[in-house]
Structure 1
Amino acid sequence: MSSTQSERLRELLEPLVSSQGLDLEEIAVDTVGRKRVLRVVVDSDTGADLDRIADVSRALSAKLDETDAMGDGEYTLEVGTPGAERPLTEHRHYVRATGRLVGFRLTAGDELAARILRVDDEGLDLEVPGVKGRKPTARRLAFDDIDRARVQVEFNRKDDRSAARDATGTDDTNDTNDETEEEA
């Protein structure tokens, strides 16, 4: 998708997504054979359940139908959330991942897996899991030191509240990790 089309679609769709209380995370137009697919990824601090996804999908579809933003050809609109292993690219993504285990690649080339405990404007307070029976350690990581970050799926983890309470002694969690996807 050209940057002009991407910018035009973002300008057109972002106000509608925002009016539904969601953030527009990503827009992508893919061509598969003769078919085009417009993928719109939305999220919010409180998550996006299926009803909210359906509502925003209907609003986006109506808006796209009244404009020529997608041209004359047929296309399929898919609206969903970022998914379980989402990359963290914005400050709000890190806030939403509080309490979650994240894999980091640092600008120095090192890799690190740690749980996000707190997020502020400069960086993250982390809990690095202990290895071979050792206790977890605390670490501070500045945003400038992060090259890439991605939430890790944990099959046997404690729930977010008890993990954060155990690590910090307080119940300072963000229960916003609804991982829901729907095709519209």
Structure 2
Amino acid sequence: MDLQSRLEALIAPSLDAMGYELVRVQLQGKQRLTLQVMADRKDGVMMTVEDCADISRSISALLDVEDPISAAYTLEVSSPGIDRPLTRAKDFEIWAGFEAKMEASQPIDGRKRFRGKLLGLDEAGNVRLGVETGEVAIPMADVRGAKLVLTDELIAATMRDQTED
């Protein structure tokens, strides 16, 4: 199991028990490592600074005991934000209809980078994206990175969701 998978397996159950969902774990940097943990509340309410602090305390204790990272690092806990990364299959369904940027690990129709309207998943589990030349389907396993694009439509939808809660 690689370090990324090990960290996810270590952190996700703790977050789940606290009422959060793990969005992404990412170890960044060469000389100064940063462990970035992004989480969402399960109840759909916007994350607060207190939520991040609670998660940080819990994860810090867990990582101190398990010690999966041999070098010194800084722990950074945050919400995914409005222009959030899309990391789970359900993200591509929930955020269908909004503009997204995606990068594939393998070329599709001669290119790896795409920007367009997210159309969800097809029956085979491929991510569908409406681009200027039509529609492209990218296998989930080949999605290297994906995130929502900050648009007026996305901001309006996010604000509307928060006022409904």
2:55 — aligned with what?
Answer: 56
**Alpha-carbon spacing, 1:103–1:65, altered in 2? closer, same or farther (3 Å):** closer
Note the residue ranges of structure 1 that are not aligned, 5 or more in a row: 130-138, 162-173, 177-184
The structure richer in strand per residue is: 2
1:116 aligns with 2:118: yes
1:93 aligns with 2:94: no
2:15 — aligned with what?
Answer: 17
2:148 — aligned with what?
Answer: 151
- The more displaced of 54-63 and 35-44 is 35-44
2:66 — aligned with what?
Answer: 67
CA RMSD across the alignment: 4.0
Report if the CA contact (8 A) 1:31-1:37 is conserved: no
Which stretches of structure 1, 4 residues or more, deviate above 6 A after TM superposition? Answer: 124-129
Equivalent residue of 2:66, what SS? coil
1:171 — aligned with what?
Answer: none
Aligned residues: 149
Q: Which residue identity does 2:35 align to in structure 1? A: L
Overall identity of the aligned pairs, in %: 24
Report if the CA contact (8 A) 1:24-1:43 is conserved: yes
Q: TM-score, normalised by structure 2?
A: 0.60
How far off its partner does 1:115 sit? 3.1
The structure richer in helix per residue is: 2
Note the residue ranges of structure 2 that are not aligned, 5 or more in a row: none
Q: TM-score, normalised by structure 1?
A: 0.56
Greater radius of gyration (CA): 1
